[in-house]
Amino acid sequence: MTTRTSRFVFDWWVVQKRFVYLAVFLVVLCAMAAGASLYVWKFGNPLAKVRSKVGMASGARFISFEGDVRVIRAAT
């Protein structure tokens, strides 16, 4: 009777706990990215209809940088 030896001997392979946590984190991150991309592919971008209801604030431009600074509204 002969005993068979396994081809896969992992007695020498030392796995750090940090590597296991990193691998699990990467798998979860990839699953979340795949789920988000599947949602966007199936239902469209949920942020496409979000727009600012408030108009752009009135800006100002500087006419002169020397001495007195005068601020004039851009719309007038």
Residue-wise pLDDT for 20-76, tens only, equals: 999 999 999 999 999 999 999 999 888 877 765 555 556 666 565 666 666 677 665
Range of the domain at 31: 15-45
* Residue 7: pLDDT over 90: no
- At 12, the pLDDT band (50, 70, 90 cuts) reads confident
Number of domain units in the chain: 1
Residue 20 lies in a domain: yes
Residue 3 lies in a domain: no
What is d(CA 33, CA 69) in angstroms, rounded to the nearest whole number? 51
Dmax (CA) for the chain in angstroms is: 103
Report yes or no on 54 lying in a domain: no
Both tokens assigned to 41: 């592919």
Euclidean distance between CA atoms 64 and 50, whole angstroms: 38
Q: Tell me if 39 is assigned to some domain.
A: yes
- DSSP character for 71? E
Q: What pLDDT score does 38 carry?
A: 96
